[in-house]
Structure 1
Amino acid sequence: MSESPTTRQPTTAGVGGLAAVVIGALVAVGLGAFGKMHEPQFFSINVAGFSSGTAVKSWLATLAVALAVFQLASAFAMYRLTPGGRAPAWIGTAHVWSGRLAVLATVPVAVHCLYALGFASTDTRVLFHSLFGCFFYGAFATKMLLLTRRGVRAWVVPIAGGLVFFGLVYTWLTSALWFFQTTGITF
Structure 2
Amino acid sequence: MLLPVLAGAAVAVATGVYAKLHQPTGIAVNVAGFTGPMQVKVWLGSGAMALAVVQVLSALAMWGRLGGFRPSWAGVAHRWSGRVAFLLAVPVAVHCLYALGFAAYDLRTLAHSLFGCFFFGMFTTKMLALPKPGLAGWVLPVTGGAVFVALTAIWLTSSLWYFTTFGITR
Match of 1:54 in 2: 38
* Residue 28 of structure 1, CA deviation: 0.3
Structure 2, gaps ≥5 residues long: none
User: Which amino acid is 2:25 matched to?
Assistant: Q
Structure 1 length normalisation: TM-score? 0.89
Structure 1, gaps ≥5 residues long: 1-16
Match of 1:112 among 95, 106, 110: 95
User: Aligned residues: percent identity?
Assistant: 55
* Residue 52 of structure 1, CA deviation: 1.4
Quote the Cα distance in structure 2 between the aligned partners of 1:148 and 1:89: 21
Match of 1:84 among 65, 68, 83: 68
Match of 1:20 in 2: 4
User: Which amino acid is 2:62 matched to?
Assistant: M
1:38 aligns with 2:25: no
User: Which amino acid is 1:74 matched to?
Assistant: S
User: Which amino acid is 2:15 matched to?
Assistant: L
1:179 aligns with 2:152: no
List per-residue Cα deviations over 1:19-66 (Å, max 9, x = no partner): 211110110000000000111111122222212110110000000000
| TM-align CA RMSD | 0.8
Quote the Cα distance in structure 2 between the aligned partners of 1:47 and 1:35: 23
Structure 2 length normalisation: TM-score? 0.97
Quote the Cα distance in structure 2 between the aligned partners of 1:78 and 1:109: 29
1:156 aligns with 2:126: no
1:122 aligns with 2:105: yes
* Residue 95 of structure 1, CA deviation: 0.5
Aligned length: 170
User: Which amino acid is 1:78 matched to?
Assistant: M
